[in-house]
Each structure stands twice: as C-alpha cells, then as structure tokens.
Structure 1
C-alpha cells in the first residue's frame, strides 16, 4: 500500500481542525466528482462507467493517503 500523503494530510487536519478540514475535503471531493461527471457527459460515457471512474478516484486517494 502506497501512503505518501498521509503525514501531510494528518498535519493539515491537525492545523485546521477536524471540522474545517472535513468541510474542505468534502468540497474537494465534490469538485472531483463534478469534474468526472462533466467529462463523462461531454464524451458520452454512460452512468455506470462514470460511477466506476469516481470509485477509482476514491480508491486511488486512499492508496495515496489522501483520506488519512
């Protein structure tokens, strides 16, 4: 498992506070999902494939330690 960003994420969360950090993280996830949705709509990718892309982005974030 590759966890390269976990220490940075934990440090940032501790500096910002959990509530503020979770709000920021939620906004980032929203933007990421909307970007994937916009891309899929523009090139005609169906809903199932779009959902798989969003899941893959989530899983990659976990592997990189962005969800620490």
Structure 2
C-alpha cells in the first residue's frame, strides 16, 4: 500500500517539545542576555613563565659531592663551572681516543660518554 500525502498535510506543524522559532533561540533574547553577562573587555596579563631548572637529581648525593660543593664554594661558581667544563671536555676527548683505538663507532662512543655522565652524577662529581 502506498501512502499519499496531500499539500495541506505538509504545512501542518509537527508535534514537538520545542516552543519558539530559530530566530528567538539563536538571535533573540537569549543571545542578548548572554552578551550582557560577559564583560566586553577581558584583560589577560602576561603569562607567568617558569624557567626550567637544570638541576642534578642526585645533587648532594654521592661520595664526592661534599668535596665538589666545598670546592665550588671556595673557588666560586663561575670559575668552578669553567674548570668543570674543561674537565668534562678532556674526559670526552679521552673517551674519543679510546674509541678510536679499539675501533668503536660514533654511536658506541656517544653511549660511553652518556654512561660517564650518569656515573659522574651518581658519584657526586656533578653536584
């Protein structure tokens, strides 16, 4: 059986729980009330940015940490960091020369340097 719909039936409103037109719900009094409840100018201050701290997780730990901290306090932080940088560079050169002598590739050399850094942290050299 085919159902037929007449033109007069198309213009009848469908039953629904929505009471009101699209104009009043989107552009009507609801929008006006919403616009009044929000301030016109919202000032946002400059966001607070925290600088990342490059700290040793094992600071103060390790056998050599007290000696390293004492040396840093006696020599001064700037001079101490210069000496430590030179010592780390020299140690990396020694590791590089060792890798050349045994025929290790760059990846193995980098692994040894990382291992030396990790051991230095554990022993307290980087406190």
By the TM > 0.5 criterion, same fold? yes
TM category (shorter chain) comes to: over 0.9
Q: Identify unmatched segments of 5+ residues in structure 2.
A: 1-57
Instruction: Tell me how far apart the structure 2 counterparts of residues 11 and 40 of structure 1 sit (CA, whole Å).
Output: 34
Total equivalences in the alignment: 68
Q: TM-score, normalised by structure 1?
A: 0.95
1:42 CA drift (Å) = 1.4
Q: Which residue of 2 aligns with 1:15?
A: 74
1:48 CA drift (Å) = 0.4
Whether 1:34 and 2:93 are equivalent positions in the alignment is: yes
Q: Identify unmatched segments of 5+ residues in structure 1.
A: none
Q: TM-score, normalised by structure 2?
A: 0.52
Whether 1:50 and 2:109 are equivalent positions in the alignment is: yes
More helix by proportion, 1 or 2?
A: 1
Show CA shifts across 1:5-45 (max 9, x none): 11100000000000100000000000000000011011110
Q: Which has the larger radius of gyration?
A: 2
Runs of 4+ in 1 over 6 A off after TM superposition: none
